[in-house]
Amino acid sequence: MLAGYAAVILSLLVLGIAGENGYFERRAQRREIQAVSAEIEKVRQENQQLNQAIRDLRSDPRAIEELARERLRLARPGEVIITLPQNQPSATPPRP
């Protein structure tokens, strides 16, 4: 009889720790919620930056000029634009 109670209590304890909604499962869910929350915050900040860029482009001529210079490689009259090659793996001389 006592062994039966002990087995039931042990089973309940195991289910409470490792069961479908046990301790380990809840801990994993909490970690996932934290990761998703961090990703949401990152996207919110990116969204704020993009909204600010939109406001700047609608109202600030300097922002429009900066974007045109950067993306379209436009220059003011008399300016020269020099384009450097993108980073390429440097060739290292062979070792002796």
- The 3 state secondary structure assigned to the chain is CHHHHHHHHHHHHHHHHHCCCCHHHHHHHHHHHHHHHHHHHHHHHHHHHHHHHHHHHHHCHHHHHHHHHHHCCCCCCCCCCCCCCCCCCCCCCCCC
The total domain count for the chain is 1
Asked if the structure places residue 23 within a domain, the reply is yes
Asked if the structure places residue 94 within a domain, the reply is no
The pLDDT value given to residue 60? 92
Per-residue pLDDT of the chain (96 residues; tens, 9 = 90+): 888 878 888 887 777 777 777 788 889 999 999 999 999 999 999 999 999 999 999 999 999 888 888 888 888 888 888 888 887 666 566 666
Range of the domain at 7: 2-71
The pLDDT value given to residue 74? 83
